[in-house]
Chain A
Amino acid sequence: MSWVLSFLTASVGLLLEPLRFSFMLNALVATVLVAIVCAVIGTFVVLKGLAFIGDAVAHASFAGIATAYLLGGNIYLGAGFAAVATATGIAFLSRRGRVSFDTAIGVLFVGAFSLGIVLMSRVRNYAVDLLNFVFGNVLGVGQEDVILVGVMSFVVLGIVFVLYKELLFYAFDAEMASVVGLPAALLHYLILVLLAITTIVAMKVVGIVLVVAMLVTPPAAAGLLTKRFSRMMLVGTFFSIAGAVIGLYLSYYIAVPSGAAIVLVDTCFFLIALALPRRLSLGPEPQKAAALTRGR
């Protein structure tokens, strides 16, 4: 009995110990918020195949960050402006369907990222600060960052909650959504703008390079285990929060970069979900499902 008690006390101690520091508390709150928003928006990203766009938007926002630094403006405003501009630019190109989608994105985002690097090299003193955005530094998250992340998360989650049925319909069947009278063009832009805001929110925590993993991996793992859209979103959020918390503690106790630690934990979840016997997983067996679609 007593060893159970002492084990529990010890583990609670281990969990609480880092939270003595306000920077760890800030980091934990910010990371969990980011994890939730990423999983919710990531569910759409996975199902609509928007991962490449998410990556592009994150990279392109770097140009905005560097510009904001150079001009002495607000970093988040700069990043937000660049991200939303890129997202709507992509939305516009994709609705036109004139340019090969992948090519347009590839050109746009590597170009913008390079612009960011060139600009950054002009502000050498701040280079370290800027690098935090590239690789993420959750321990550098301050009080204002937490408030900003909180507000942005609230806005994104609020919009998804209010327009849940419209966004789900649009994600499944955009043409039909416009036929029954939903504002499909608006929803098209909205999903990409929400994606842009999400990448900005996540940037400080996991960094530009890793944002896409936080968006895609937890919902993809959930997608292997669930059948309904809503459950995929919920289970994905659970994975995402668990990955964020475990990753953050790992980074504290074994001194590794937090963003990479979180993404690695997420990746483990995904691999476990993938390895689970089909009997346990809630989704249809791929072979059986394929056979059913074929064997009309």
Chain B
Amino acid sequence: MHEPRRFSGNLDCSDPVVTIADRWAGYNRRPALEEVNFCLPRGSLVGVVGPNGGGKSTFLKVILGLVSPWRGTVSILGKRPREGRHLLGYVPQREDVDWRFPVNALDVVLMGTYGRIGLVRRPGKGEAEFALHCLARVGLADNARRQIVELSGGQQQRVFIARALAQKPQALLLDEPVSGVDAVSQHAIFELLEALCEQGVAVLATSHDLSCVAGRFQRAVCLNRRIVAYGAPEDVFTTDILSETYESHFLTVKAGNTSYVVGSELLNR
């Protein structure tokens, strides 16, 4: 029916945390994802790129079972999303968070432990200590009692990463973790994600910064309703694949022997 998608390189998928087979999903009868096949190996660092509205957020939500699927399967360590998603840490898109909500950083991180605590029981001293430990891992131990609205964009993002860590996740799904984040926080976030990968946590992050994905991630997914390509960034960031992904709304800028690709979203700004 559809021409097969391109999968570049020899993708090793022997030890996947998440696998997706022929998943379709959408909103109000309009498809947002078509025919998605994917695997997220343990300890890998995978970036998802694509145009605005290309389905990047939906891709993460489908894995988390937050969008009801039309067909196909998602498996999280052999379980269905609803049974297995507590194994996944999730950092939502900045715009989806109510930053004015009256909670402090520690409150937010504690929420990551609620799934383990179970219904009705309150978090105790052990949970609070663990939450503080997670805040320390993202370098925010001194900001535990600050309201989230008072934190900078980068600090807010790191609080949410700390909450995901408090879930003790097998994989971390982050929606645009570095957009609108200062350079220092951006660097700190990537250091942390790389350290997590070394400990065997799989990381899947969306981004609309192609050069950032090219420089920092082991693998890249080019997504525009379908997965146009999945592989090492140097294999998939070709003019062909990128123009198919961005439907020609992108620019290549050459400086010396490095070429920089500018996606449509940056052009629109």
Query: A residues bordering B, Cβ < 8 Å?
Result: 47, 97-98, 162-166, 168-169, 171-173, 175-183, 223, 226-229, 231-232, 283-284, 288-289, 292-293, 295-296
Residue from B66, B100, B156 in contact with A179 in the complex, judged by beta carbons closer than 8 Å: B66
Report whether A232 and B102 are in contact in the complex, using a CB–CB cutoff of 8 Å.
Answer: yes
Report whether A228 and B103 are in contact in the complex, using a CB–CB cutoff of 8 Å.
Answer: yes
> Measured between C-beta atoms, what is the minimum distance from A156 to chain B in Å?
17
Report whether A293 and B149 are in contact in the complex, using a CB–CB cutoff of 8 Å.
Answer: yes
Q: Which residues of A contact B85 (CB under 8 A)?
A: 178-179, 181
Q: Which residues of B contact A232 (CB under 8 A)?
A: 102
Does B218 reach chain A (CB closer than 8 Å)?
Answer: no
> Measured between C-beta atoms, what is the minimum distance from B210 to chain A in Å?
21
Q: Which residues of B contact A289 (CB under 8 A)?
A: 100, 149-150
Stretch at the interface among B180-188, B191-199, B238-246: B180-188
Residue in chain B with minimal CB distance to A166:
B119
Q: List 14 A-B contacts (CB under 8 A).
A: A165-B114, A166-B119, A175-B66, A176-B163, A177-B111, A179-B66, A180-B86, A223-B102, A227-B104, A289-B149, A293-B156, A296-B153, A296-B154, A296-B185
> Measured between C-beta atoms, what is the minimum distance from A105 to chain B in Å?
19
Report whether A175 and B153 are in contact in the complex, using a CB–CB cutoff of 8 Å.
Answer: no
> Measured between C-beta atoms, what is the minimum distance from A160 to chain B in Å?
12
Q: Which residues of B contact A296 (CB under 8 A)?
A: 152-154, 180-182, 185
Residue from B27, B114, B151, B182 in contact with A169 in the complex, judged by beta carbons closer than 8 Å: B114
Q: Which residues of A contact B45 (CB under 8 A)?
A: none
Report whether A182 and B92 are in contact in the complex, using a CB–CB cutoff of 8 Å.
Answer: no
Instruction: State the CA gap A198–B156 with chains docked (Å).
Output: 35
- If A98-B28, A165-B123, A292-B150 touch, whether A172 touches B101 (CB-CB below 8 Å) is yes
Instruction: State the CA gap A236–B103 with chains docked (Å).
Output: 16
Does B206 reach chain A (CB closer than 8 Å)?
Answer: no
- If A172-B98, A226-B102, A229-B103 touch, whether A179 touches B86 (CB-CB below 8 Å) is yes
